[in-house]
Structure 1
Amino acid sequence: MEELMELLASLKPEIDFETEKELIDDGLLESFDVITLIAELEDQFEVEIPAEEIVPENFNSAEGIWNLLQRIKGED
């Protein structure tokens, strides 16, 4: 999780990813941010995020992103 938090902070340092739970719903992450984030996640965590997993619920919080990563890694 620490590695994810560092990645998120490097992409959007102005957002408090520790407490924010509605990154997409509140417009803190826009579509381009999500595309950039997906590319970074795939590179750093060596996963491929399927298109059907690219939904707001999976990107609304750091916890949601972490759970997505764990789910994808579990499927490998």
Structure 2
Amino acid sequence: MDELLQILNTLKPGVDFTKETDLVKRGILDSLTIITLVNELKDEFDIEITLLDIVPKNFFSAQTIYDMVKRLQDE
């Protein structure tokens, strides 16, 4: 989780990702930031993220992003 929080804080400094939820709806993560985040996650965690994974429920909070990463690592 620490690596994920570091990536998120680099992309969006000043946001407390440990407490924030509904990141997409609140505009914290927009489409450009999500694409950048997806590429960072692929590189950092050596996972494959498909278009089917890029849905709001997977980017609701840092925890849901982390859960997606763990699920993809297990596949």
Q: Which runs of 5+ in 1 are unaligned?
A: none
Give the total of aligned pairs. 75
1:28 pairs with 2:28: yes
* Residue identity matched to 1:7: I
How far apart, CA to CA, are the structure 2 residues paired with 1:30 and 1:64?
16
TM-score (normalizing by structure 2): 0.95
* Structure 1 segment 41-56 matched on structure 2, within 5 A: 41-56=41-56
- Runs of 4+ in structure 1 deviating by more than 2 angstroms, as ranges, are none
Partner residue in 1 for 2:16: 16
CA distance in 2, matches of 1:29, 1:6: 15
- Deviation per CA, 1:20-75, whole angstroms, max 9, x where unpaired? 01100111111000000000000111111011010001011000000000110111
Let me know the Cα RMSD of the aligned residues: 0.7
- Structure 2 CA distance, aligned partners of 1:4 and 1:38? 11
Other structure's SS at 1:20 match: coil
How many angstroms does 1:14 deviate by?
Answer: 2.1
CA distance in 2, matches of 1:25, 1:16: 16
Which amino acid counterpart does residue 73 of structure 1 have in structure 2? Q
Structure 2 unaligned spans of 5+: none
Structure 1 residue 15: Cα displacement: 1.3
